[in-house]
Amino acid sequence: MESVMSNEWKIICKVSDIPVLGARIVNRPVAEGMPPQVNVAIFRNSEDKVFALLDKCPHKGGPLSQGIVFGERVACPLHGWNIELASGCAIAPDVGCTLKFAVKVEDGQVFLDAQELAQGPAETASA
């Protein structure tokens, strides 16, 4: 996966700008004449680990950014599905995944891959 990323990192915010056990929304760019894309939610857990997922539960599309973060999971606010922050996948017995985005933290700054932010993660592209 590393080789398909653009290696062009975009500063999003400081880690301290993300609430502990919460999320911050990152608006994705909209191409002219195209419908708006689903935003990205950047999560911070109690250990200051940062994760980035598409802000859409795989179940009914609930806004994961409004869910409760615990450990390395977030509970969807609509129906309580538990989603792993590292993978974007639901915890059994629920099934389904939302897209995860590459995130990097350096010197307290949070970065997202600029190409992923614009187009979505590479694993969504057909081979």
CA torsion 51-54-18-23 (nearest 10°) is -110
Task: For residue 13, give the CATH number of its domain.
Answer: 2.102.10.10
pLDDT tens string 5-15? 557 999 999 99
Residue 54: name the closest of 64, 44, 69 by CA: 64
Domain housing 90: 2-120
* 98 Cβ contact partners less than 8 Å away, ≥ 6 residues apart: 53, 54, 56, 57, 58, 64, 83, 88
Domain contains 85: yes
Q: What integer pLDDT is reported at residue 126 of this predicted model?
A: 36
Sheet containing 109-113, strands listed edge to edge, beginning at the edge strand earlier in sequence: 9-14, 109-113, 103-106
Domain contains 28: yes
Number of folded domains that form the chain: 1
Q: How many residues does this entry show for the chain?
A: 127
pLDDT tens string 38-95? 899 999 999 999 999 999 999 999 999 999 999 999 999 999 999 999 999 999 999 9
Q: Is 114 helix (H, G, I), strand (E, B) or coil?
A: helix
Domain contains 125: no
DSSP state at residue 119: H
Distance (Å, rounded) from C-alpha 8 to C-alpha 54?
19
